[in-house]
Each structure stands twice: as C-alpha cells, then as structure tokens.
C-alpha cells in the first residue's frame, strides 16, 4: 500500500540558508500535517492543510512557510535557518479527521 512519502530523507544546510521539504500524501488523503521533532522531544505541530487551504497553525516560526498544491502534495519552506532548526520533520496525511499516517521524516541538520 502507498504510504506518505517525504523527501529528502536527509538534508544538511548551513546557517542562514534555505531548505524546502516535500511531502506526498497517501492517495485520496485530503489533509496534510507538518510536525517538528527535536532530539528526545515530542513532535511539535507546525501547520496543517485541508483541501489545499491552511486549516490550523501551531508553533511554526515566521521564517517558515508551507503550502499544499493542487495535487495535494505539500512543501515546507524554511528560510534563514538556525542551528535550533535541526530536527526531524514529519509529514502526516489523513482523510479529514480519520487516522493519520506518518512519513519516515526528513532529518534536517543545520551546521
């Protein structure tokens, strides 16, 4: 069965650079969530989209932006990267408020 695909799996960036993370939801899923998980921490909700519109916003820094495209894939754009942005970034998808399935995550390292 198709799962949530995230790319890239690993990313290394320097401070003040920009990064773009991509998420391809399970087919026919209309909701995408983005989470940030620091080392040894709980996942922190960043932002979600339902039917290509932002549906909820969490602790997403102003330096980050995201959108969901017509094919339902989503991108998380991160600018002016800081060392503290180093984390696992998870994307999850679901059909409305049913079970969410997570991708394998993108490990971002800012050096």
Partner 1 sequence: KNQVEQSPQSLIILEGKNCTLQCNYTVSPFSNLRWYKQDTGRGPVSLTIMTFSENTKSNGRYTATLDADTKQSSLHITASQLSDSASYICVVSAAGTASKLTFGTGTRLQVTL
Residues that bind partner 1 (CB under 8 A): 4, 31, 33, 42-43, 45, 48, 50, 55-56, 58, 88, 90, 92, 96-105, 107
**Closest approach of Cβ 110 to partner 1, in Å?**
17
| 80 vs 109, beta carbon nearer partner 1 | 109
| CA 90 – CA 111 distance, rounded (Å) | 20
| 11 vs 100, beta carbon nearer partner 1 | 100
Bond before 49 cis per omega within 30 degrees: no
Query: Strand 19-24 vs strand 44-50: parallel, antiparallel, or unpaired?
Result: unpaired
Quick one: CA dihedral 20, 34, 69, 79, positive or negative?
negative
| 79 vs 107, beta carbon nearer partner 1 | 107
């Amino acid at each position: 069965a198709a799962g949530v695909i995230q790319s890239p799996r690993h990313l290394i960036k320097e401070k003040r650079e920009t990064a773009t993370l991509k998420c391809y939801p399970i087919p026919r899923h209309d909701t995408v969530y983005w989470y940030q998980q620091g080392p040894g921490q709980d996942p922190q909700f960043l932002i979600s989209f339902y039917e290509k519109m932002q549906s909820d916003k969490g602790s997403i820094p102003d330096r980050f932006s995201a959108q969901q495209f017509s094919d339902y894939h989503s991108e998380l754009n991160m600018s002016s990267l800081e060392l503290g942005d180093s984390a696992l970034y998870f994307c999850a998808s679901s059909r409305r408020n049913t079970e969410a399935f997570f991708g394998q995550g993108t490990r971002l390292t800012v050096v």
